Amino acid sequence: MKISFVIWDGNFREYFHTLKCFENQISTIDFEVIWCDFYENTNEELKKYVARNDNFKLINLKNDDSKSWNEGVCINHAVSKAQGDVIALIDGDIFFDLDFVETVASYKLDEVNKAVYLRRYDENEQDHDKSLSYTITHLDKVAKLNNPFNYAAFLGMSRSLFNKLAGYETHSIFDGPGGASIDMRSRLLNTGAFVSSQDYKIYHPWHPFTGRTNKYQESSILFSKHYKWINGYIGVKQSWIIKRRQENLSYAASKEEVDRLLTELHPRLTKPLKYLRIRLFLNRLLRRFGI
């Protein structure tokens, strides 16, 4: 069995501790690490890791900087170049112990129709220490489970199951940060695959861009207070696609299906969110009086 660890990127990683963790693994398992950048990453530290490790590979897709990155595009391309029987998709910011590869191999993802995700434990800003934050002892002590449903941290499955799903969704509504990994989990469940978490901890050291939001996300969060199926972080359109796929049990990635499902989305939910706070207040008021 060979494991292909796929890291997607948009030329925005500040540190490369994830690659250091792979470099330090104590393992007899055959594995490779593929770093795929949507743009072109020329970072000297990254290139040094790749140059001194025969099982590390850097792929630059060289998309124009004006184009929004799409993690599905990176992942699908990297998997097409991967050699492993098992595909493990990971966040390029995670930190893990020396037995990580051996532990992933113990899940035997090449033998059965199942997928495994690992929960990411986050270090908070006040606990960050440059001399300690990239050590297991420190992270195990201070890191907290802030989001038990962060499926983007680690998701592993067999290559055959990945292919059955037609990979990650690459539709433009999934450009930038969002819910492509949540969509993937929904489609995995729709295939009848057994999707589980494991107790093994992976960590996310704090860095300056952790936890940032934008105006679009803030508006989506307001929408989510009224429409429970909307995930404020990933936005209205992505939430709608996930909702409809959970209802109709489709599982293969398809731009055509996404386009079709988007035609079913009520137009008012795609319009600018003008006066949304007032509208939500009036709706709550009317509901209180049974109107």
DSSP character string of the chain = -EEEEEEEE-S--S--HHHHHHHT----SEEEEEEEESS----HHHHHHHHH-TTEEEEE----TTSPP-HHHHHHHHHHH---SEEEEE-TT-B--TTHHHHHHHT-TTTSSEEEEEEEEEPPGGG--TTTTTSHHHHHHH-B-S-TT-TTSEEEEEHHHHHHTTSS---GGG-SSSSHHHHHHHHHHHTT-EEEEEEEEEEE---TTTT---HHHHHHHHHHTT-TT--TTT-HHHHHHHHHHHHH---S--HHHHHHHHTTS-GGGTS--TTHHHHHHHHHHHHHTT-
* For residues 64-82, average pLDDT: 96
Distance CA 113, CA 161 (A): 7
Q: Which range among 39-53, 217-231, 275-289 shows the weakest confidence by mean pLDDT? A: 275-289
Mean pLDDT of the 77-100 span:
97
238: exposed, middle or buried (Cβ count in 10 Å: 0-12, 13-18, 19+): buried
In this prediction, residue 14 has a pLDDT band, given cuts at 50, 70 and 90, of confident
Report, as an integer, the average pLDDT of 260-287.
Answer: 74
Average pLDDT over residues 201-208: 93
Joined together, the tokens standing for residue 5 give 């660890």
* Mean local confidence (pLDDT), 213-229: 66
Q: Indicate yes or no: pTM above 0.85.
A: yes
Q: 2-204: which CATH number, 3.90.1170.40, 3.90.550.10, 3.40.47.10, 3.40.50.300?
A: 3.90.550.10
pLDDT grade, residue 217 (50/70/90)?
A: low
Of the pLDDT bands very low, low, confident and very high (cuts 50, 70, 90), residue 212 is: very low
What is the C-alpha separation between 258 and 123, in angstroms, rounded? 36
More confident site: 234 or 213: 234
Residue spans of the domains in the chain: they are 2-204, 215-288
